[in-house]
Structure formats: C-alpha cells, structure tokens
C-alpha cells in the first residue's frame, strides 16, 4: 500500500498485489479509501 501527496490529502491509497505466476503478474488498485486499504492489508497479512 502506498500514498502519494495528493492521495494523503484526500485520504486515498494505492494497493499493489503480485501473484506467484511465471511471469509474475501485478494488479494495482488506485485511489481506494485509506481505511479500505488498511483493512485489505490487515486481511492479507493474516492470510499469508
């Protein structure tokens, strides 16, 4: 999860996900609410 300057101002974040395929595939969700990003990060860290 990362935040740019404007995203911080508007309380938004970007989530980037990588899978383990060969080649690696990246998916990015831009400008999601920061609280949604935090919930996703907590969920993802518990499942790993």
Q: Which residues are within 8 A (CB) of 45 and not within 5 positions of it... i.e. 6 or more apart?
A: none
Calpha distance 6→17 (Å, rounded): 21
Residue 36: alpha-carbon gap to chain centroid: 9
pLDDT value for 48: 62
pLDDT band for 4, please (50, 70, 90 cuts): confident
Residue 18: alpha-carbon gap to chain centroid: 10
The model's pLDDT over 29-46, given as tens digits with 9 standing for 90+, comes to: 999 999 999 999 899 888
């Amino acid at each position: 999860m990362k935040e740019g300057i404007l995203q911080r101002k508007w309380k938004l974040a970007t989530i980037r996900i990588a899978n383990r395929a060969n080649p690696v595939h990246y998916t990015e969700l831009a400008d999601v609410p920061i609280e949604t990003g935090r919930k996703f990060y907590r969920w993802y860290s518990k499942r790993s």
